[in-house]
């Protein structure tokens, strides 16, 4: 099982900017994402001023997320993920917002024994999750 991190979702939304990642996505028969990634992506879009760019990104996000949601491939932060999150963050008394989001995604991946596809491998280092950088094809963990 491969879970797409937020930056891979962003690449799917703007394939002309990320042709290598977009090409990799086309070779994947089944991918998942997380409710955390949906929230993080939409929050970024809704923070933009209303206009053409925001509208285009909103449409692109819906084009990526709607099929995943319809297929039941948006994984949620549930009881098992909460357990993994607590074990990951116990020694991080004051995490940044980004660390919290990445740890939540990692916890969901651990709960499902899944690999996280991300271009930001360093953000998940030391969390015990299997990683794949689709821009290089490199596996970690």
The annotation places the binding site for Mg(2+) at 5, 102
Strands 130-133 and 138-140: antiparallel
* Binding-site residue set: 5, 102
Query: Tokens 């994947």 identify what position?
Result: 28
């Amino acid at each position: 099982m491969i879970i797409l991190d937020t930056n891979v979702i962003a690449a799917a939304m703007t394939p002309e900017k990320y042709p290598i990642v977009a090409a990799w996505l086309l070779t994947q028969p089944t991918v998942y994402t997380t409710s955390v990634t949906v929230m993080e992506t939409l929050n970024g879009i809704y923070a933009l001023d209303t206009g053409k760019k925001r509208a285009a990104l909103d449409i692109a996000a819906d084009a990526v997320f709607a099929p995943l949601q319809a297929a039941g491939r948006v994984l949620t932060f549930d009881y098992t993920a909460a357990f993994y999150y607590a074990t990951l963050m116990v020694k991080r008394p004051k995490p940044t917002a980004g660390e919290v989001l990445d740890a939540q995604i990692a916890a969901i991946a651990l709960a499902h024994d899944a690999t996280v596809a991300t271009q930001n491998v360093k953000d998940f280092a030391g969390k015990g999750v299997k990683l794949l950088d689709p821009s290089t094809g490199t596996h970690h963990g």
